[in-house]
Structure 1
Amino acid sequence: MTDETSEPQAHVIVELDVVDGWPPVASERVWAHDLGGDRYVVDNPPWFVRDLAVGDVVRAVAPGTDRHPVFVELLERSDHCTIRLVVFRAGPLGGDLARAIEPFRRLGVYAEGAGRYGMLALDVEPDAPLTDLVAVLRAGVDDGSWEYEEGRIFGAWRAATSD
């Protein structure tokens, strides 16, 4: 999550391309801090939007005074990355998102669940313990708890995941 001192003031709508039923939604709302001038800082890791992370500055324009702003473009990338997990109901955690979040919380990694889809979105800060995080992710894959994908990564993440 960003270092902003106030609560996020806006939802930014990001329209998605649905291919073969995925993602299961045509748009996603992310929390953001309004910087003014149609600029917003993303404040939560997205579940479906690719190439977007906490701390990114985006341009979004509201189609009306009573409507949420809609994403237009990425203006500045943050040093955060976004990792998404699908937690399997048939796995050892029984699809329990709270149990799936716990090992990430212990590492200081913010995780947000989308119970309807059995998913977690992780906000990985640049100073996160990447070696430990990758070990937890791989252990969950190995024991059948989840699968994960890289929504947006940075160079240190690539180095930590290369074998």
Structure 2
Amino acid sequence: MADSKVLFRVVGEDGDVHVETLWATALGEDRYRLDNLPFHAYGVSWDDIVLAPFDATEDMATFQHVVTKTGNRTVRLLLDPPVSPGNASDDVLQELVALGCDYEGSNRVRIAVNIPADVSLDSIREYLIARELVWEHADPTYETLFPDNPC
């Protein structure tokens, strides 16, 4: 059960800094197990264990690095139209669930999708591309997956 928050600072392409706090379970020795999906942070996924010492300036545990990857992967979607029961965006989410994923929404448009270790990332990518959705790799990042093919 999540009992803490871990702060992530994410520098965007435009130089803006996004602050995100993820629910986490404290494991001791400044380690935390992430209990929700990231909407801004890259390179972390649900259930990963991270090192996040308390930062007096931030007044909370602040992400330093991943200690243990769990095999979960994260992609993020921007859905149009906004999700509503029975619409095309809801159909996309229900199909992702049928493929073995789960998801979390920051709102009805911005959705983070968890791809468990036993679900093929390639099959999920193929599905998203075939549906012509707006999405991004968050963990692993596009650059990690395709280092020789910059976007």
Which amino acid in structure 2 is aligned with residue 78 of structure 1? Answer: T
1:36 Cα deviation after fit: 0.8
Aligned partner of residue 115 in structure 1, secondary structure: coil
Counterpart of 1:122 in structure 2 is 113
1:84 Cα deviation after fit: 0.9
Q: What TM-score, normalized by structure 1, do the two folds share?
A: 0.71
Which amino acid in structure 2 is aligned with residue 10 of structure 1? Answer: S
Is the aligned partner of 1:84 residue 2:60?
no
Q: How does 1:68-147 map to 2 (within 5 A)?
A: 68-88=60-80, 94-96=81-83, 99=90, 100-115=92-107, 118-128=109-119, 130=121, 132-141=123-132, 146-147=133-134
Is the aligned partner of 1:38 residue 2:30?
yes
Which stretches in structure 1 are left out of the alignment for 5+ residues? 1-6, 89-93, 159-163
**Distance change (3 Å), C-alpha of 1:153 and 1:17:** closer
Q: What TM-score, normalized by structure 2, do the two folds share?
A: 0.76
Counterpart of 2:2 in structure 1 is 8
Which amino acid in structure 2 is aligned with residue 16 of structure 1? Answer: V
Is the aligned partner of 1:47 residue 2:26?
no
Q: Percent identity?
A: 24
Q: How many residues align?
A: 136
Asked if the contact 1:10/1:34 (under 8 Å) is kept, the reply is: yes
